[in-house]
Amino acid sequence: MNNKYDAIVIGAGMSGGWAAKEFCDQGIKTLLLERGPNVEHIKDYPTTNTMPWEFKHRGKLTEKEIRENPIISKCYAFYEGSKHFFVKDDHHKYIQKKPFDWLRGYQVGGKSIMWARQVQRWSKYDFEGPSRDGYAVEWPIGYDDLKHWYTHVEKFVGVSGNKDGLDILPDGDFLKTWEANAVEEYFTKAIKKHYSDRHVIHGRAAHLTEIKPIFIKQGRGLCMSRTICERGCPLGGYFNANSTLIPWAMRTGNLDLKPNSVVHSIIYDDKLNKAVGARVIDNVTKNTMEYYSKVIFVTAATLNTNLILLNSKSLRFPNGLGNDNGLLGKFIAFHNYRGVINAKFEGMRNYTTKGRKPTSHYLPRFRNVYKQETDFLRGYAAGFSARPERITNKDGLGKNLLDNMLNTSKTGLWNVSSHMMGETIPKITNQVYLDSNKLDQWGIPLLNIDVDYDNNDEKMVKDFFEQFEEMFNIAGFKNIRIKDNRKLRNPGNDIHEMGGVRMGKDPKTSLLNKWNQLHNCKNVFVSDGACMTSTSTQNPSLTFMAISARAANYAIKELKKNNI
Protein backbone atom coordinates (compact mmCIF):
# COMPACT_ATOMS: atom_id res chain seq x y z
CA MET A 1 0.00 0.00 0.00
CA ASN A 2 2.95 2.35 0.63
CA ASN A 3 3.93 2.02 -3.02
CA LYS A 4 0.59 3.12 -4.50
CA TYR A 5 -0.01 6.58 -5.93
CA ASP A 6 -2.46 8.34 -8.18
CA ALA A 7 0.31 9.38 -10.57
CA ILE A 8 3.94 8.49 -11.22
CA VAL A 9 6.21 10.96 -12.99
CA ILE A 10 9.52 9.61 -14.29
CA GLY A 11 12.27 12.25 -14.44
CA ALA A 12 12.56 15.30 -12.18
CA GLY A 13 13.66 17.88 -14.74
CA MET A 14 11.66 20.60 -16.45
CA SER A 15 8.99 18.44 -18.06
CA GLY A 16 8.61 16.12 -15.10
CA GLY A 17 8.67 19.03 -12.69
CA TRP A 18 5.77 20.67 -14.52
CA ALA A 19 3.73 17.48 -14.58
CA ALA A 20 4.34 16.95 -10.85
CA LYS A 21 3.42 20.56 -10.01
CA GLU A 22 0.15 20.39 -11.94
CA PHE A 23 -0.80 17.06 -10.36
CA CYS A 24 0.01 18.18 -6.82
CA ASP A 25 -1.74 21.54 -7.19
CA GLN A 26 -4.96 19.67 -7.88
CA GLY A 27 -4.73 17.12 -5.09
CA ILE A 28 -3.26 14.19 -7.01
CA LYS A 29 -0.96 12.03 -4.88
CA THR A 30 2.19 11.91 -6.98
CA LEU A 31 5.47 10.00 -6.97
CA LEU A 32 8.35 11.77 -8.70
CA LEU A 33 11.18 9.40 -9.62
CA GLU A 34 14.69 10.64 -10.43
CA ARG A 35 17.60 8.37 -11.34
CA GLY A 36 20.23 10.72 -9.86
CA PRO A 37 20.82 12.19 -6.41
CA ASN A 38 18.77 14.94 -4.83
CA VAL A 39 19.81 18.54 -5.42
CA GLU A 40 18.14 20.98 -3.07
CA HIS A 41 17.98 24.64 -4.05
CA ILE A 42 20.87 26.66 -2.54
CA LYS A 43 22.03 23.84 -0.25
CA ASP A 44 23.42 21.70 -3.09
CA TYR A 45 25.06 24.36 -5.27
CA PRO A 46 28.62 23.86 -3.96
CA THR A 47 30.37 26.31 -6.29
CA THR A 48 27.72 29.00 -6.72
CA ASN A 49 29.66 31.55 -4.61
CA THR A 50 33.17 30.30 -5.34
CA MET A 51 35.49 33.01 -6.59
CA PRO A 52 37.71 32.37 -9.65
CA TRP A 53 40.90 32.26 -7.57
CA GLU A 54 39.36 29.73 -5.18
CA PHE A 55 39.16 27.01 -7.84
CA LYS A 56 42.15 24.70 -7.81
CA HIS A 57 42.48 24.93 -11.58
CA ARG A 58 41.02 28.45 -11.96
CA GLY A 59 37.83 27.03 -13.43
CA LYS A 60 39.51 24.93 -16.10
CA LEU A 61 39.35 21.18 -16.68
CA THR A 62 42.49 19.14 -16.23
CA GLU A 63 44.08 17.27 -19.12
CA LYS A 64 43.11 14.03 -17.39
CA GLU A 65 39.44 15.07 -17.16
CA ILE A 66 39.37 16.01 -20.83
CA ARG A 67 41.07 12.76 -21.83
CA GLU A 68 38.62 10.68 -19.76
CA ASN A 69 35.58 12.65 -20.94
CA PRO A 70 35.99 13.33 -24.67
CA ILE A 71 32.21 13.72 -25.12
CA ILE A 72 30.97 15.80 -22.19
CA SER A 73 34.12 17.96 -22.13
CA LYS A 74 33.01 19.45 -25.46
CA CYS A 75 29.99 21.03 -23.76
CA TYR A 76 30.37 24.79 -23.31
CA ALA A 77 28.94 24.63 -19.76
CA PHE A 78 31.15 21.79 -18.48
CA TYR A 79 34.05 23.19 -16.46
CA GLU A 80 35.51 23.03 -12.97
CA GLY A 81 32.66 25.02 -11.43
CA SER A 82 29.83 22.97 -12.94
CA LYS A 83 31.21 19.53 -13.77
CA HIS A 84 29.49 17.87 -10.80
CA PHE A 85 26.08 18.41 -12.49
CA PHE A 86 26.99 16.54 -15.70
CA VAL A 87 27.08 12.82 -16.46
CA LYS A 88 30.68 11.73 -17.02
CA ASP A 89 31.41 9.61 -20.09
CA ASP A 90 31.96 6.36 -18.18
CA HIS A 91 28.92 6.65 -15.87
CA HIS A 92 26.14 5.60 -18.24
CA LYS A 93 27.69 4.35 -21.43
CA TYR A 94 25.93 4.06 -24.77
CA ILE A 95 26.76 2.78 -28.24
CA GLN A 96 27.36 5.25 -31.07
CA LYS A 97 26.59 3.80 -34.48
CA LYS A 98 27.68 7.21 -35.74
CA PRO A 99 29.30 9.96 -33.63
CA PHE A 100 26.70 11.36 -31.22
CA ASP A 101 27.30 13.52 -28.16
CA TRP A 102 24.74 12.56 -25.53
CA LEU A 103 25.02 15.30 -22.88
CA ARG A 104 23.08 14.60 -19.69
CA GLY A 105 22.42 15.76 -16.15
CA TYR A 106 21.35 13.00 -13.76
CA GLN A 107 20.03 14.69 -10.63
CA VAL A 108 16.86 16.25 -9.28
CA GLY A 109 16.39 19.24 -11.55
CA GLY A 110 18.09 17.48 -14.45
CA LYS A 111 19.53 19.83 -17.06
CA SER A 112 17.30 22.69 -15.86
CA ILE A 113 20.22 23.59 -13.58
CA MET A 114 22.68 24.01 -16.47
CA TRP A 115 20.49 25.02 -19.43
CA ALA A 116 20.96 28.09 -21.65
CA ARG A 117 17.59 29.59 -20.50
CA GLN A 118 16.39 30.72 -23.94
CA VAL A 119 12.60 30.53 -24.19
CA GLN A 120 11.05 31.44 -27.53
CA ARG A 121 7.53 30.35 -28.37
CA TRP A 122 6.77 28.40 -31.51
CA SER A 123 4.52 30.07 -34.10
CA LYS A 124 1.74 28.51 -36.13
CA TYR A 125 4.20 28.19 -39.02
CA ASP A 126 6.47 25.95 -36.97
CA PHE A 127 3.65 23.49 -36.33
CA GLU A 128 2.55 23.63 -39.99
CA GLY A 129 5.96 22.73 -41.43
CA PRO A 130 5.52 18.93 -41.67
CA SER A 131 2.06 19.10 -43.22
CA ARG A 132 3.24 21.63 -45.78
CA ASP A 133 6.36 19.89 -47.05
CA GLY A 134 5.33 16.31 -46.30
CA TYR A 135 8.33 15.36 -44.16
CA ALA A 136 7.54 13.78 -40.78
CA VAL A 137 3.82 13.60 -40.01
CA GLU A 138 1.26 16.30 -39.37
CA TRP A 139 1.18 17.72 -35.86
CA PRO A 140 -2.07 16.91 -34.01
CA ILE A 141 -1.88 20.30 -32.28
CA GLY A 142 -1.07 23.85 -33.34
CA TYR A 143 -0.13 27.17 -31.79
CA ASP A 144 -3.69 27.90 -30.65
CA ASP A 145 -3.68 24.67 -28.61
CA LEU A 146 -0.56 25.78 -26.73
CA LYS A 147 -1.08 29.54 -26.56
CA HIS A 148 -2.75 29.46 -23.14
CA TRP A 149 -0.18 27.00 -21.78
CA TYR A 150 2.74 29.10 -22.97
CA THR A 151 1.32 31.97 -20.92
CA HIS A 152 0.66 29.66 -17.97
CA VAL A 153 4.32 28.59 -17.95
CA GLU A 154 5.79 32.04 -18.61
CA LYS A 155 3.95 33.62 -15.68
CA PHE A 156 5.36 31.03 -13.30
CA VAL A 157 8.87 30.80 -14.78
CA GLY A 158 9.50 34.50 -15.42
CA VAL A 159 10.61 35.46 -18.94
CA SER A 160 12.39 38.65 -19.94
CA GLY A 161 11.73 39.95 -23.43
CA ASN A 162 10.28 42.67 -25.64
CA LYS A 163 6.90 42.78 -27.34
CA ASP A 164 8.22 42.49 -30.89
CA GLY A 165 4.92 41.94 -32.71
CA LEU A 166 6.23 39.19 -35.00
CA ASP A 167 3.94 36.48 -36.37
CA ILE A 168 6.97 34.20 -36.81
CA LEU A 169 7.81 34.45 -33.09
CA PRO A 170 4.71 35.21 -31.00
CA ASP A 171 4.99 37.55 -28.03
CA GLY A 172 4.54 36.14 -24.55
CA ASP A 173 3.94 37.28 -20.99
CA PHE A 174 7.21 39.16 -20.55
CA LEU A 175 9.18 40.92 -17.86
CA LYS A 176 11.37 43.84 -18.88
CA THR A 177 14.51 42.92 -20.77
CA TRP A 178 18.14 44.00 -20.56
CA GLU A 179 19.36 47.05 -22.41
CA ALA A 180 20.92 46.40 -25.82
CA ASN A 181 24.46 47.65 -26.33
CA ALA A 182 25.36 50.16 -29.04
CA VAL A 183 26.44 47.66 -31.68
CA GLU A 184 23.46 45.39 -31.09
CA GLU A 185 21.20 48.40 -31.67
CA TYR A 186 23.22 49.39 -34.73
CA PHE A 187 22.95 45.91 -36.28
CA THR A 188 19.22 45.77 -35.51
CA LYS A 189 18.64 49.03 -37.40
CA ALA A 190 20.89 48.02 -40.30
CA ILE A 191 18.99 44.77 -40.87
CA LYS A 192 15.60 46.50 -40.53
CA LYS A 193 16.65 49.07 -43.13
CA HIS A 194 17.70 46.49 -45.75
CA TYR A 195 15.30 43.57 -45.15
CA SER A 196 11.57 43.39 -44.59
CA ASP A 197 11.57 39.72 -43.57
CA ARG A 198 14.49 39.67 -41.10
CA HIS A 199 14.39 40.86 -37.54
CA VAL A 200 17.00 41.24 -34.83
CA ILE A 201 15.42 41.10 -31.37
CA HIS A 202 16.48 40.60 -27.77
CA GLY A 203 16.63 36.90 -26.91
CA ARG A 204 13.84 35.91 -24.53
CA ALA A 205 15.34 34.44 -21.38
CA ALA A 206 14.05 32.73 -18.23
CA HIS A 207 15.45 35.33 -15.82
CA LEU A 208 13.72 37.55 -13.28
CA THR A 209 14.18 41.22 -14.10
CA GLU A 210 11.15 42.25 -12.05
CA ILE A 211 9.64 40.97 -8.84
CA LYS A 212 6.00 39.88 -8.83
CA PRO A 213 3.92 38.19 -6.13
CA ILE A 214 4.25 34.76 -7.74
CA PHE A 215 8.06 34.97 -7.57
CA ILE A 216 7.98 36.12 -3.94
CA LYS A 217 5.76 33.15 -3.18
CA GLN A 218 8.35 30.90 -4.82
CA GLY A 219 11.09 32.47 -2.69
CA ARG A 220 13.06 33.81 -5.65
CA GLY A 221 15.03 37.04 -6.10
CA LEU A 222 16.07 39.18 -9.04
CA CYS A 223 18.72 38.05 -11.51
CA MET A 224 21.99 39.86 -10.79
CA SER A 225 23.54 39.01 -14.17
CA ARG A 226 26.34 36.94 -12.66
CA THR A 227 26.25 34.71 -15.78
CA ILE A 228 27.41 31.60 -13.91
CA CYS A 229 23.94 30.07 -13.98
CA GLU A 230 25.09 26.51 -14.66
CA ARG A 231 26.44 26.33 -11.09
CA GLY A 232 22.93 26.91 -9.69
CA CYS A 233 21.68 30.34 -8.58
CA PRO A 234 21.24 30.94 -4.82
CA LEU A 235 18.98 33.89 -5.62
CA GLY A 236 16.65 31.88 -7.84
CA GLY A 237 17.22 34.61 -10.43
CA TYR A 238 16.87 32.18 -13.30
CA PHE A 239 14.38 29.33 -13.57
CA ASN A 240 15.26 25.80 -12.68
CA ALA A 241 13.04 23.01 -11.39
CA ASN A 242 14.90 22.92 -8.06
CA SER A 243 14.02 26.48 -7.05
CA THR A 244 10.42 26.49 -8.31
CA LEU A 245 8.47 23.47 -9.47
CA ILE A 246 9.66 20.80 -7.05
CA PRO A 247 9.56 22.88 -3.82
CA TRP A 248 6.15 24.19 -4.91
CA ALA A 249 4.83 20.67 -5.38
CA MET A 250 6.38 19.52 -2.09
CA ARG A 251 4.57 22.25 -0.16
CA THR A 252 1.19 20.84 -1.24
CA GLY A 253 1.86 17.68 0.74
CA ASN A 254 0.96 15.62 -2.33
CA LEU A 255 4.46 14.87 -3.63
CA ASP A 256 6.75 11.99 -2.76
CA LEU A 257 10.18 12.58 -4.30
CA LYS A 258 12.45 9.57 -4.65
CA PRO A 259 15.94 10.32 -6.00
CA ASN A 260 18.46 7.61 -6.90
CA SER A 261 15.62 5.67 -8.55
CA VAL A 262 16.63 4.31 -11.95
CA VAL A 263 13.52 3.29 -13.86
CA HIS A 264 14.04 -0.07 -15.51
CA SER A 265 10.66 -0.28 -17.25
CA ILE A 266 6.96 0.41 -17.04
CA ILE A 267 4.86 -2.47 -15.77
CA TYR A 268 2.02 -3.46 -18.11
CA ASP A 269 -0.81 -5.72 -16.95
CA ASP A 270 -1.92 -7.89 -19.86
CA LYS A 271 -5.17 -8.80 -18.10
CA LEU A 272 -6.14 -5.20 -17.29
CA ASN A 273 -4.83 -3.94 -20.66
CA LYS A 274 -3.10 -0.97 -19.10
CA ALA A 275 0.09 0.09 -17.40
CA VAL A 276 0.02 -0.27 -13.64
CA GLY A 277 3.36 1.05 -12.42
CA ALA A 278 7.11 1.35 -12.75
CA ARG A 279 9.93 -1.06 -11.97
CA VAL A 280 12.78 0.81 -10.27
CA ILE A 281 16.38 -0.07 -9.43
CA ASP A 282 17.97 1.74 -6.51
CA ASN A 283 20.98 3.64 -7.84
CA VAL A 284 23.00 2.91 -4.69
CA THR A 285 21.98 -0.57 -3.50
CA LYS A 286 20.88 -1.94 -6.91
CA ASN A 287 17.79 -3.40 -5.22
CA THR A 288 14.57 -3.53 -7.26
CA MET A 289 11.30 -1.92 -6.20
CA GLU A 290 7.91 -1.60 -7.85
CA TYR A 291 5.59 1.39 -7.58
CA TYR A 292 2.01 1.50 -8.76
CA SER A 293 -0.31 4.22 -10.02
CA LYS A 294 -3.30 5.01 -12.19
CA VAL A 295 -1.40 7.24 -14.61
CA ILE A 296 2.27 7.43 -15.61
CA PHE A 297 4.15 10.36 -17.16
CA VAL A 298 7.45 9.47 -18.84
CA THR A 299 9.62 12.61 -18.86
CA ALA A 300 13.11 11.19 -18.46
CA ALA A 301 14.57 13.39 -21.26
CA THR A 302 14.28 12.34 -24.89
CA LEU A 303 16.67 9.44 -25.27
CA ASN A 304 16.16 7.95 -21.81
CA THR A 305 12.39 8.16 -22.35
CA ASN A 306 12.86 6.15 -25.55
CA LEU A 307 15.08 3.70 -23.67
CA ILE A 308 12.52 3.12 -20.90
CA LEU A 309 9.66 2.54 -23.34
CA LEU A 310 11.74 0.23 -25.54
CA ASN A 311 12.67 -1.78 -22.44
CA SER A 312 9.04 -1.95 -21.24
CA LYS A 313 8.15 -5.27 -22.84
CA SER A 314 5.16 -7.51 -22.19
CA LEU A 315 3.10 -10.16 -23.96
CA ARG A 316 0.96 -7.36 -25.41
CA PHE A 317 3.94 -5.22 -26.37
CA PRO A 318 6.95 -7.45 -27.13
CA ASN A 319 8.78 -4.62 -28.92
CA GLY A 320 8.28 -1.92 -26.32
CA LEU A 321 5.29 -0.22 -24.72
CA GLY A 322 2.80 1.10 -27.27
CA ASN A 323 5.03 0.05 -30.16
CA ASP A 324 2.53 -1.71 -32.43
CA ASN A 325 3.70 0.18 -35.51
CA GLY A 326 7.42 -0.42 -34.91
CA LEU A 327 8.20 3.31 -34.91
CA LEU A 328 9.27 3.65 -31.28
CA GLY A 329 12.79 5.07 -31.20
CA LYS A 330 12.66 6.26 -34.80
CA PHE A 331 12.51 9.76 -36.34
CA ILE A 332 15.00 11.24 -33.88
CA ALA A 333 15.90 14.85 -34.71
CA PHE A 334 18.04 17.62 -33.22
CA HIS A 335 19.28 21.15 -33.90
CA ASN A 336 22.16 21.93 -36.22
CA TYR A 337 24.54 24.36 -34.44
CA ARG A 338 27.51 23.89 -36.75
CA GLY A 339 27.64 27.27 -38.47
CA VAL A 340 29.51 30.16 -36.78
CA ILE A 341 30.47 33.53 -38.26
CA ASN A 342 32.71 36.15 -36.63
CA ALA A 343 33.83 39.64 -37.63
CA LYS A 344 35.20 42.97 -36.40
CA PHE A 345 33.40 46.31 -36.28
CA GLU A 346 35.37 49.57 -36.30
CA GLY A 347 32.44 51.86 -35.54
CA MET A 348 31.03 52.92 -32.15
CA ARG A 349 34.58 53.46 -30.89
CA ASN A 350 33.38 55.80 -28.15
CA TYR A 351 31.00 53.18 -26.72
CA THR A 352 31.63 50.29 -24.37
CA THR A 353 29.60 47.94 -22.16
CA LYS A 354 29.01 47.92 -18.44
CA GLY A 355 28.34 44.75 -16.51
CA ARG A 356 26.95 41.56 -18.01
CA LYS A 357 23.64 40.20 -19.21
CA PRO A 358 22.53 36.57 -19.42
CA THR A 359 21.17 36.69 -22.97
CA SER A 360 22.11 38.04 -26.39
CA HIS A 361 20.23 39.08 -29.51
CA TYR A 362 18.30 36.67 -31.70
CA LEU A 363 17.27 36.44 -35.36
CA PRO A 364 14.12 34.36 -35.82
CA ARG A 365 13.89 32.04 -38.79
CA PHE A 366 13.35 33.80 -42.11
CA ARG A 367 13.80 30.92 -44.60
CA ASN A 368 10.81 28.88 -45.89
CA VAL A 369 8.46 30.37 -43.29
CA TYR A 370 5.39 31.07 -45.44
CA LYS A 371 6.28 28.94 -48.45
CA GLN A 372 9.06 26.71 -49.77
CA GLU A 373 11.63 29.02 -51.36
CA THR A 374 15.04 27.31 -51.12
CA ASP A 375 16.57 23.99 -52.17
CA PHE A 376 16.51 22.82 -48.54
CA LEU A 377 13.58 22.19 -46.20
CA ARG A 378 12.68 24.28 -43.13
CA GLY A 379 15.16 26.87 -41.88
CA TYR A 380 17.37 28.24 -39.12
CA ALA A 381 17.39 30.91 -36.43
CA ALA A 382 20.55 32.56 -35.17
CA GLY A 383 22.05 34.27 -32.17
CA PHE A 384 23.93 37.56 -32.41
CA SER A 385 26.33 39.11 -29.92
CA ALA A 386 28.67 42.11 -29.89
CA ARG A 387 31.39 42.86 -27.37
CA PRO A 388 34.12 45.51 -27.24
CA GLU A 389 37.52 44.01 -27.85
CA ARG A 390 40.14 44.23 -25.15
CA ILE A 391 43.72 43.01 -25.39
CA THR A 392 45.38 41.98 -22.14
CA ASN A 393 49.13 42.37 -21.92
CA LYS A 394 50.46 39.29 -20.13
CA ASP A 395 54.15 40.13 -20.44
CA GLY A 396 56.45 40.33 -17.42
CA LEU A 397 56.57 38.79 -13.98
CA GLY A 398 55.36 39.86 -10.54
CA LYS A 399 54.41 43.52 -10.18
CA ASN A 400 55.33 44.19 -13.80
CA LEU A 401 52.89 41.48 -14.96
CA LEU A 402 50.17 42.83 -12.67
CA ASP A 403 50.61 46.38 -13.98
CA ASN A 404 50.52 45.17 -17.58
CA MET A 405 47.34 43.18 -17.01
CA LEU A 406 45.57 46.04 -15.24
CA ASN A 407 46.47 48.47 -18.01
CA THR A 408 44.35 46.60 -20.56
CA SER A 409 44.63 47.94 -24.07
CA LYS A 410 41.48 49.38 -25.62
CA THR A 411 41.59 48.58 -29.31
CA GLY A 412 38.49 50.50 -30.40
CA LEU A 413 37.22 47.39 -32.18
CA TRP A 414 34.13 45.31 -31.46
CA ASN A 415 33.95 41.53 -31.85
CA VAL A 416 30.65 40.46 -33.42
CA SER A 417 29.48 36.89 -33.93
CA SER A 418 26.50 34.79 -34.85
CA HIS A 419 25.72 31.08 -34.66
CA MET A 420 23.02 29.10 -36.43
CA MET A 421 20.27 26.99 -34.89
CA GLY A 422 19.04 24.85 -37.76
CA GLU A 423 16.01 22.56 -37.87
CA THR A 424 16.83 19.00 -38.86
CA ILE A 425 14.26 16.79 -40.57
CA PRO A 426 13.10 13.72 -38.61
CA LYS A 427 14.00 10.61 -40.60
CA ILE A 428 13.27 6.94 -39.97
CA THR A 429 17.00 6.23 -40.35
CA ASN A 430 17.79 8.50 -37.39
CA GLN A 431 16.94 6.13 -34.59
CA VAL A 432 17.78 4.60 -31.23
CA TYR A 433 17.38 0.97 -30.21
CA LEU A 434 18.46 -1.41 -27.46
CA ASP A 435 21.47 -3.71 -27.47
CA SER A 436 20.23 -6.99 -26.09
CA ASN A 437 23.76 -8.29 -25.52
CA LYS A 438 25.21 -5.39 -23.52
CA LEU A 439 23.84 -4.24 -20.19
CA ASP A 440 24.64 -1.21 -18.06
CA GLN A 441 25.49 -1.30 -14.36
CA TRP A 442 21.76 -1.50 -13.48
CA GLY A 443 21.17 -4.50 -15.75
CA ILE A 444 19.38 -2.42 -18.40
CA PRO A 445 20.29 -2.84 -22.11
CA LEU A 446 22.59 -0.17 -23.50
CA LEU A 447 21.16 2.32 -25.95
CA ASN A 448 22.36 2.29 -29.55
CA ILE A 449 22.24 5.75 -31.14
CA ASP A 450 22.25 5.89 -34.94
CA VAL A 451 21.82 9.58 -35.82
CA ASP A 452 23.62 11.76 -38.35
CA TYR A 453 23.50 14.92 -40.44
CA ASP A 454 22.17 14.72 -43.99
CA ASN A 455 22.34 16.65 -47.27
CA ASN A 456 19.57 19.01 -46.14
CA ASP A 457 21.75 20.04 -43.20
CA GLU A 458 24.71 20.69 -45.49
CA LYS A 459 22.64 22.95 -47.74
CA MET A 460 21.33 24.82 -44.69
CA VAL A 461 24.83 25.46 -43.32
CA LYS A 462 25.89 26.80 -46.73
CA ASP A 463 22.89 29.14 -46.87
CA PHE A 464 23.52 30.39 -43.33
CA PHE A 465 27.06 31.40 -44.28
CA GLU A 466 25.92 33.09 -47.49
CA GLN A 467 23.10 35.05 -45.86
CA PHE A 468 24.98 36.14 -42.77
CA GLU A 469 28.10 37.09 -44.71
CA GLU A 470 25.81 39.32 -46.78
CA MET A 471 24.21 40.81 -43.66
CA PHE A 472 27.58 41.38 -41.99
CA ASN A 473 28.87 43.14 -45.11
CA ILE A 474 25.77 45.35 -45.24
CA ALA A 475 26.41 46.31 -41.61
CA GLY A 476 29.99 47.25 -42.45
CA PHE A 477 31.63 44.51 -40.43
CA LYS A 478 35.20 43.64 -41.43
CA ASN A 479 37.49 40.60 -41.34
CA ILE A 480 34.55 38.22 -41.66
CA ARG A 481 35.40 34.61 -40.82
CA ILE A 482 33.12 31.61 -41.22
CA LYS A 483 33.59 28.27 -39.50
CA ASP A 484 31.79 24.95 -39.91
CA ASN A 485 32.22 23.14 -36.58
CA ARG A 486 31.32 19.76 -38.08
CA LYS A 487 34.07 17.87 -36.23
CA LEU A 488 33.40 19.54 -32.89
CA ARG A 489 29.60 19.56 -32.94
CA ASN A 490 28.35 16.06 -33.52
CA PRO A 491 24.58 15.54 -33.45
CA GLY A 492 23.56 15.78 -29.80
CA ASN A 493 26.07 18.49 -28.94
CA ASP A 494 23.20 20.98 -29.33
CA ILE A 495 21.55 19.22 -26.33
CA HIS A 496 18.20 19.52 -28.17
CA GLU A 497 17.53 15.94 -29.24
CA MET A 498 13.84 15.28 -29.88
CA GLY A 499 11.51 12.60 -31.20
CA GLY A 500 11.27 8.83 -31.11
CA VAL A 501 7.82 8.85 -29.46
CA ARG A 502 6.23 11.41 -31.71
CA MET A 503 2.75 12.87 -31.57
CA GLY A 504 0.38 12.45 -34.51
CA LYS A 505 -3.16 11.92 -35.66
CA ASP A 506 -2.80 8.36 -36.94
CA PRO A 507 -1.77 5.42 -34.71
CA LYS A 508 -0.19 3.83 -37.76
CA THR A 509 2.38 6.63 -38.12
CA SER A 510 2.77 8.00 -34.58
CA LEU A 511 2.95 6.85 -30.96
CA LEU A 512 1.05 9.63 -29.14
CA ASN A 513 -2.24 11.44 -29.64
CA LYS A 514 -2.88 15.17 -29.27
CA TRP A 515 -2.95 14.85 -25.45
CA ASN A 516 0.42 13.05 -25.35
CA GLN A 517 -1.18 9.70 -24.52
CA LEU A 518 0.20 6.56 -26.04
CA HIS A 519 -2.33 5.57 -28.70
CA ASN A 520 -2.29 1.99 -27.44
CA CYS A 521 -1.92 2.57 -23.70
CA LYS A 522 -4.06 5.49 -22.62
CA ASN A 523 -2.77 5.87 -19.06
CA VAL A 524 0.84 6.46 -20.15
CA PHE A 525 1.83 9.95 -21.29
CA VAL A 526 5.06 11.26 -22.81
CA SER A 527 5.54 15.04 -22.68
CA ASP A 528 9.27 15.70 -22.87
CA GLY A 529 11.36 16.09 -26.04
CA ALA A 530 10.59 12.53 -27.13
CA CYS A 531 7.03 13.58 -28.05
CA MET A 532 8.10 16.17 -30.62
CA THR A 533 6.93 15.56 -34.17
CA SER A 534 9.37 18.12 -35.59
CA THR A 535 11.94 20.44 -34.02
CA SER A 536 11.48 23.92 -35.52
CA THR A 537 14.42 26.29 -34.81
CA GLN A 538 13.60 27.69 -31.37
CA ASN A 539 15.18 26.48 -28.15
CA PRO A 540 12.67 23.77 -27.20
CA SER A 541 12.41 23.89 -23.39
CA LEU A 542 9.49 26.35 -23.21
CA THR A 543 7.49 24.15 -25.57
CA PHE A 544 8.31 21.03 -23.54
CA MET A 545 7.03 22.76 -20.39
CA ALA A 546 3.85 24.04 -22.05
CA ILE A 547 3.09 20.62 -23.53
CA SER A 548 3.71 18.97 -20.14
CA ALA A 549 1.38 21.36 -18.29
CA ARG A 550 -1.31 20.86 -20.93
CA ALA A 551 -1.01 17.06 -20.90
CA ALA A 552 -1.00 16.89 -17.10
CA ASN A 553 -4.18 18.93 -16.83
CA TYR A 554 -5.88 16.69 -19.37
CA ALA A 555 -4.75 13.62 -17.43
CA ILE A 556 -6.13 15.12 -14.21
CA LYS A 557 -9.56 15.59 -15.81
CA GLU A 558 -9.52 12.03 -17.12
CA LEU A 559 -8.46 10.70 -13.72
CA LYS A 560 -11.32 12.50 -12.01
CA LYS A 561 -13.74 11.04 -14.56
CA ASN A 562 -12.26 7.56 -13.96
CA ASN A 563 -11.47 7.32 -17.68
CA ILE A 564 -7.87 6.21 -17.07
Over the chain (564 residues), the average pLDDT of each successive run of 10 is: 93 98 98 98 98 96 97 97 98 96 98 98 96 91 98 98 97 96 97 97 97 98 97 98 98 98 98 97 97 98 98 98 98 98 94 91 97 96 95 90 84 93 97 96 98 98 98 98 94 97 98 98 98 97 98 98 94
Instruction: Provide the pLDDT for residue 406.
Output: 87
Instruction: Provide the pLDDT for residue 487.
Output: 87
How many CB atoms within 10 Å of residue 303? 25
Do 419 and 477 reside in the same domain of the chain?
Answer: yes
CA–CA dist 121, 140 (Å, integer): 17
Q: What is the pLDDT of residues 362-384, one digit of tens each?
A: 999 999 999 999 999 999 999 99
Do 392 and 499 reside in the same domain of the chain?
Answer: no
Do 153 and 169 reside in the same domain of the chain?
Answer: no
Please say which residue of 474, 490, 506 terminates a domain. 490
Query: How far, CA to CA in Å, does 92 sit from each of 229, 287, 440?
Result: 25, 18, 7
Q: What is the pLDDT of residues 240-295, one digit of tens each?
A: 999 999 999 999 999 999 999 999 999 999 999 999 999 999 999 999 999 999 99
Instruction: Provide the pLDDT for residue 134.
Output: 86
The dihedral over CA atoms of 159, 168, 546, 299, expressed in degrees to the nearest 10, equals: -110
**What CATH number is given to the structural domain containing 285?**
3.50.50.60
Of 544, 564, 421, 556, residue with least CA distance to 150: 544
Say if residues 443 and 281 touch (Cβ distance below 8 Å). yes
Ordered DSSP codes for 459-485: HHHHHHHHHHHHHHHHTT-EEEEEEE-
Instruction: Provide the pLDDT for residue 341.
Output: 98
Amino acid at 461: V
Please say which residue of 490, 518, 545 terminates a domain. 490
Do 33 and 133 reside in the same domain of the chain?
Answer: yes
Do 238 and 116 reside in the same domain of the chain?
Answer: yes
**H or E segment and range at residue 405:** helix 398-406
Instruction: Provide the pLDDT for residue 423.
Output: 98
Helices then strands, counting H and E runs in the chain, come out as 11, 20
What is the end-to-end Cα distance of the chain in Å, rounded?
A: 20
Do 169 and 278 reside in the same domain of the chain?
Answer: no
Do 356 and 397 reside in the same domain of the chain?
Answer: yes
Coil/strand/helix, residue 415: strand
Do 245 and 132 reside in the same domain of the chain?
Answer: yes
Instruction: Provide the pLDDT for residue 408.
Output: 75
Do 526 and 417 reside in the same domain of the chain?
Answer: no
The DSSP call for residue 230 is G
Q: Which residues of 55-75 are buried (b: 16+ CB within 10 A; e: fewer)?
A: eeeebebeeebeeebebbbbb
Do 418 and 440 reside in the same domain of the chain?
Answer: no
Q: How many domains does the chain divide into?
A: 2
Instruction: Provide the pLDDT for residue 409.
Output: 74
Do 222 and 185 reside in the same domain of the chain?
Answer: no
Say if residues 105 and 86 touch (Cβ distance below 8 Å). yes
> Kind of pairing, strands 4-10 and 274-282?
unpaired
Instruction: Provide the pLDDT for residue 135.
Output: 86
Domain that holds residue 26: 1-160+206-334+426-450+495-564
Do 341 and 195 reside in the same domain of the chain?
Answer: yes
